[in-house]
Amino acid sequence: MKIGFIGLGNMGGPMAANLIAAGHDVTGFDVAGVSVEGASQASSAAAAATGAEVVITMLPNGAILRSVAEEIIPAMTPGAVLLDCSTVDVESARAVAEAAQAAGLGALDAPVSGGIGGAAGGTLTFMVGGSAEAFAIAGPLFDIMGQKAVHCGPSGNGQAAKICNNMILGVTMIATCEAFALADKLGLSREAMFDVVSTSSGYSWSMNAYCPAPGVGPQSPADNDYKPGFAAELMLKDLGLSQQAAEAADADTPMGARALELYRSFVEEEDGRGRDFSAMLPRFEGRGRG
C-alpha cells in the first residue's frame, strides 16, 4: 500500500518502521525533520498525503491534528483513508472525520495502548471509531502495527474508549499506591500486600501487571527507578481529555476529576514530570494526612 505517515516521534517512528519492514511504501513527514529508515521523506504534510491510499497521523494533540487535517484533506485522493492514531479529544476526532468524509475520504480515529514498547514490537491495541468500510481498508495495517484492533462504533468512539480506559487506569493506580502507603504505615510488608491483593477483590492491572512497589510482583518501571514506562505527564494528558469529554457529555466523574487534580500537582508542582505514572507510590509514601 502507498502510505503517508505524519508525526514520526516516539510512537510514529517505530510504527512507520514496522510498515516499511512489512513491504509497504511509506512517505513520511515530521515538522522536527526526523526521518525513518526506508521511508521517502516529504517536504510537507500535504506532500506526504498526496497519492497515498492511507494517511496515518500520530501527533501530540487535537489542535495539531486539526491543523494538519486542514492541510492534508484537500491533498488526499477521494476514497483514501485518513487514519489518526494520536490520542486527542473526542470533539476534534469527530470534527476531523466529518471534514474528511465531506471530501469523499474514509476516516478512522484509532488511538492505541501499548506505549513505545508496543509500537516497536508491533503489539499495539487499536481502539477504532469510523465506518466498517474504512476499518476494512486499514485492517491489514492494524495487523502489522498491533496485535488487536477493536471496532468501537462511529467516529470518535475510539477516542471515547481510550479515555474511559485510561481514566480507570489513573484512578486504580492512585488507589493502589495510596493503599500500599497505608499498608506500610500499618506494618504490613509489601510482599504480603501484593500476595493478598493480587489474588483478592482489590486486584487490578495496576497491582497485578504493573505493580508500583519496587521488587514486588512482575518487572515494572518501579524496578527501574520509575523511568517511564508510561510517563505521568501522558496520564495527566489523558485524564484531562476524559474530564473535557465528561463536561461536554454532562457525565458525573468525581474519581476521574480527583485523579486529574492529583496527577496535575504531581507533574506541575512536585517531582512527577519525566517519571513513570506509578511513581505516585513514593509520592504517597512520604506524606501524612496534613
Residues that bind ligand NAD (CB under 6 A): 6-12, 29-32, 34, 45, 58-60, 64, 68, 86-87, 112, 115-116, 230, 234, 237
Residue 19 phi/psi, 5-degree rounding, is: -65, -40
- Tell me how far, at minimum, the Cβ of 88 lies from ligand NAD, in Å: 6
CB atoms within 10 A of CB 172: 19
Is 162 among the residues known to form the active site? yes
The residue among 116 and 255 lying less far from ligand NAD, judged by its C-beta, is 116
Nearer to ligand NAD, 127 or 177 (CB): 127
Q: Which residue has the cell 508525526?
A: 7
Residue 26 CB, nearest approach to ligand NAD (Å): 15
How distant is the alpha carbon of residue 23 from its chain centre? 26
- Between residues 115 and 214, which has the closer beta carbon with respect to ligand NAD? 115
Residue 6 or 20: which CB sits closer to ligand NAD?
6
Q: How far is the CB of 3 from ligand NAD (least distance, A)?
A: 15
Burial of 115-149, coded b for 16+ CB within 10 Å and e otherwise, reads beebbbebebbbbbbbbeebbebbeebbeebbeeb
Please identify which of the residues 2, 148, 162, 185 carries the catalytic annotation.
162
State the nearest-atom distance from the C-beta of 287 to ligand NAD, in Å. Answer: 27
Residue with the closest Cβ to ligand NAD? Answer: 9
Please report how close the Cβ of residue 57 comes to ligand NAD at its closest, in angstroms: 8
What is the C-alpha separation between 14 and 142, in angstroms, rounded?
Answer: 14
Q: Which CB, 8 or 259, lies closer to ligand NAD? A: 8
* Active site positions, annotated: 162
